[in-house]
Amino acid sequence: MSANNLAAAKCTAIEQPNSKADSTAPTGVPVIDYEGSGYRQDFWEGQGREYEDAIERIALQRLLPPQGGRIAEIGAGFGRLADLYLGYDQIVLFDYSRTMLADAVRKWGHDPRFVFVAGNLYEMPLAAGTLDTLVMVRVMHHLADVPAALAQLQPLLHRSSTAVLEYANKRNLKAVLRWLTRRQRWSPFDPAPLEFVAMNFDFHPGWMAAKMKYAGLRVDERFGASHFRLPALKNNLPVGLLARLDSRLFQIGGKFPLAPSIFVRTAASDAAERPQPEASPGEASPAHLFRCPSCAAHPLAATGPTLLQCPSCARQYGQTDRIWDFKLPA
Ligand SMILES: C[S@@+](CC[C@H](N)C(=O)[O-])C[C@H]1O[C@@H](n2cnc3c(N)ncnc32)[C@H](O)[C@@H]1O
């Protein structure tokens, strides 16, 4: 890692599970590999990140409709934030890592409203227009091809849906100060994404706004969050106080994004009307909820209670231990 990138890494919490990308992912876009990672224990539990967790929860509580039909978290990991979705009839936790999902199943598997789905967001197995609400937190910063990802996410929305997306801000105050004092060579004002460690990216807010617009996502609200992500503050002030103070900066931080983390509430204004559901979200059949991630055919055919088959390319997708598996073989 270059000295410059190391400086950037110090400004941003690195979520580096296995230090490798899964180059076998079939789209050709590398995917970070959290399979078997200790993300929950190594990054969150007892790791001094109560403030980040608290502020992300406050941001989501302000931006998400508190209840609705179907919500999906894309890159949900072990389901850290899933308690925020309990006002919904159906809660889809989607992730590339089966072991992270297995952890989520241990916590939430008793609740029939939860649907656990293993898949690659670049090869989306959820059908078009199926989500009333979409959330994606701490995932964008692992995406090597944001436009391709947004092109997969936008069609999941209908005209009344809400999508809340979070990304890491390259033009944060610390990076600006380091650049101005010549302690960092890369410019935080350069719009191009910065890969400061393999598969960890920071984004310029202007670049991200342009990509969202291109993907057909209208940004209705933007928050800057985690302004006080500094050990000196985190170690000396109570989490609740710090989070309350930070939440007062959400809106101004959205107008002038200098915080390390940015949340946006978006909508797909040109999307189709909410599809007429064949049943309420909680009762909809998996055959209708999913599409074939390989050829996009929809609906799938239910060939058993835990087995689906694509009517077009005949691929089969099954459910084991509560997890529907749509990861395509290489
Ligand atoms: C840093 S974790 C965040 C987990 C959760 N959103 C949270 O905030 O606790 C990133 C998650 O994104 C998932 N992820 C990364 N790339 C993905 C992809 N292409 N498709 C699906 N999930 C992906 C990883 O497997 C991992 O669980």
**CA of 278 relative to ligand 1 center, distance in Å:** 30
> How are beta strands 218-225 and 307-309 bridged, if at all?
unpaired
Domain spans, the chain = 3-269
Ligand 1 pocket test, pick from 31, 91, 139, 324 with the greatest ligand atom count within 8 Å of Cβ, gives 139
| CATH number belonging to domain 3-269 | 3.40.50.150
**CA of 95 relative to ligand 1 center, distance in Å:** 6
| Type of residue found at 227 | H
Pocket of ligand 1 (CB under 6 A): 15, 31-32, 34, 75-77, 80, 95-97, 100, 120-122, 137-139, 142
pLDDT confidence of residue 1:
41
CA-nearest residue for atom 14, ligand 1, is 75
Torsion, Cα 265 271 277 282, to 10 degrees, reads -20
pLDDT confidence of residue 330:
56
- Give the sign of the dihedral formed by CA 309, CA 329, CA 77, CA 159: negative
Closest ligand 1 atom number to CA of residue 136: 6
CA-nearest residue for atom 13, ligand 1, is 75
Ligand 1 pocket test, pick from 47, 96, 105, 324 with the greatest ligand atom count within 8 Å of Cβ, gives 96
pLDDT confidence of residue 328:
85
> Across the 330 residues of the chain, what is the mean pLDDT of every consecutive 10-residue run?
38 53 71 95 94 97 97 98 98 98 98 98 97 98 97 97 98 96 96 96 98 98 96 93 96 95 96 81 88 96 95 97 89
Per residue in 217-276, pLDDT (tens digit) is 999 999 999 999 998 999 999 999 999 999 999 999 999 999 999 999 999 989 998 887
**CA of 182 relative to ligand 1 center, distance in Å:** 34
Within 8 A by CB and 6+ apart from 267, the residues are 157, 159, 161, 162, 163, 217, 218, 220
Q: How far is CA 176 from CA 8, 74, 181, 209, 304, in A?
A: 11, 30, 9, 19, 56
Q: How far is CA 140 from CA 102, 207, 257, in A?
A: 22, 13, 17
pLDDT confidence of residue 159:
96
CA-nearest residue for atom 3, ligand 1, is 138
- Give the sign of the dihedral formed by CA 58, CA 62, CA 68, CA 74: negative
> What beta strand segments (E) does the chain contain?
21-22, 31-32, 68-74, 88-95, 114-118, 131-136, 157-168, 194-197, 200-202, 218-225, 261-267, 301-304, 307-309, 316-320, 323-325
pLDDT confidence of residue 9:
38
pLDDT confidence of residue 3:
37
CA-nearest residue for atom 11, ligand 1, is 75
- Contact by Cβ (8 Å): 141, 202: yes
Per residue in 89-121, pLDDT (tens digit) is 999 999 999 999 999 999 999 999 999 999 999
CA-nearest residue for atom 9, ligand 1, is 80
- Contact by Cβ (8 Å): 325, 317: yes
> How are beta strands 157-168 and 131-136 bridged, if at all?
parallel
The CA radius of gyration of the chain, in Å to the nearest whole number, is 19
Ligand 1 pocket test, pick from 43, 60, 95 with the greatest ligand atom count within 8 Å of Cβ, gives 95
**CA of 116 relative to ligand 1 center, distance in Å:** 13
**CA of 31 relative to ligand 1 center, distance in Å:** 10
| Type of residue found at 220 | D
